[in-house]
Amino acid sequence: MAKAWAQPMSAETFQTPIRAVPIETSVRRVATICSEYAFLTLPLRTNGPRAKRMRTTILNSNAIRSCDKVNNRMRKLRAAVFGTGFMGRTHVEGIRRQPNVEVAAVAASSEAKAREFGEQNGIETTTGDYASLLSDPSIDAVHVCTPNYLHFPMAKAALQAGKHVLCEKPLAMTVAEAQEMVDLARQKKLANCTCHNLRYYPLVQHIRALRESGELGDILAVQGTYSQDWLLYDTDYNWRIEPKESGRSRCFADIGTHWCDMIEHLTGLEITALVADMQ
């Protein structure tokens, strides 16, 4: 059981106007401007019929204009994907929906897995040693789509090599590791992004609009759950149930981050404290 306390964000947080734009099914495009060019933050996909109904999202209008400028003047960004599991495949699919980004290489836990993934997805450069890709000057960005315990070392190495990073959540296994990544990215003037897609769901945007218009009234408390059928059967297994690979906070840090981000986005409040039972 966990409870979180929140306080209002600064007024600047929501001062930029937003507008709806048509996009491909369940894909969002967010431009993060870094130094001389923009890094396109890719795709986040959901499964099932609900995903097929998604046709619009809300984007910061400045980011949209930046995307338009990038489309007109930039060379293609070359991204390397670390990880060939479910999220690795999702990122590859999303990258290929962006006009200015291409999948340049993929790294897996073994040469064989990387080669098989490359053959299935038409990727020529594959390796079982992710570090070998970081020395390639033609690689602009890295997508870290591996088990949680690998996020920090992989993302840190990529930042140190001068690559922009899009890392699956959680960013790291500890707050100290995450802060080190943030500081390193700021020092190197690189993008260090993570993936939060729930805020772009039409229903979430509708609720936020109700709150911003005042129709929702004063928010006194928020309660929620994250329901799914994962691990429904005793025979189900995944690395996420192993503390050494997933982290001590388990589902709260891994999936709960989506809930926390969505609530902050909906309410305009910021979580500042946490009380939880660690079991």
Of 55, 8, 40, 39, nearest in space to 267 by CA: 8
Exposed, middle or buried, 140 (CB in 10 Å: 0-12/13-18/19+)?
A: buried
Residues 207 and 175 in one domain: no
pTM over 0.75: no
Number of domains in the chain: 2
Q: Of 165, 194, 223, at which residue does a domain stop? A: 194
Residue 48, domain extent: 16-194
Confidence (pLDDT) at 212: 95
Sign of the dihedral defined by the CA atoms of residues 235, 239, 244, 249, in that order:
negative
Residue with tokens 């986040």: 44
Residue with tokens 């140190």: 160
Of 81, 98, 102, 94, nearest in space to 26 by CA: 94
Asked if the structure places residue 2 within a domain, the reply is no
Q: Of 194, 224, 241, at which residue does a domain stop? A: 194
Any idea how long the chain is? 279
Residue numbers of the chain with a pLDDT score lower than 50: 1-68, 70
Residues 42 and 166 in one domain: yes
Confidence (pLDDT) at 47: 39
Cβ-proximal residues to 194 (8 Å cutoff; 6+ apart), any chain: 166, 167, 168, 169, 170, 171
Question: Mind spelling out the 3-state secondary structure of the chain?
Answer: CEEEEEEECCHHHHCCCEEEEECCCCCCCEEEEECCEEEEECCCCCCCHHHHCCCEEEEEHHHHHHHHHHHHHCCCEEEEEECCCHHHHHHHHHHCCCCCEEEEEEECCCHHHHHHHHHHHCCCEEECCCHHHHCCCCCCEEEECCCHHHHHHHHHHHHHCCCEEEECCCCCCCHHHHHHHHHHHHHHCCCEEECCCHHHCHHHHHHHHHHHHCCCCCCCCCCCCCCCCCCCCCCCCCHHHCHHHHCCCCHHHHCHHHHHHHHHHHHCEEEEEEEECCC
Residues 217 and 256 in one domain: yes
Asked if the structure places residue 1 within a domain, the reply is no
Residues 55 and 183 in one domain: yes
Decide if 19 contacts 279 (C-beta within 8 A).
Answer: no
Residues 55 and 175 in one domain: yes
Can you give the C-alpha Rg of the chain in angstroms? 19
Tens of pLDDT, residues 128-169: 999 999 999 999 999 999 998 999 999 999 999 999 999 998
Of 132, 127, 193, nearest in space to 164 by CA: 193
Token pair for residue 28? 């969002």
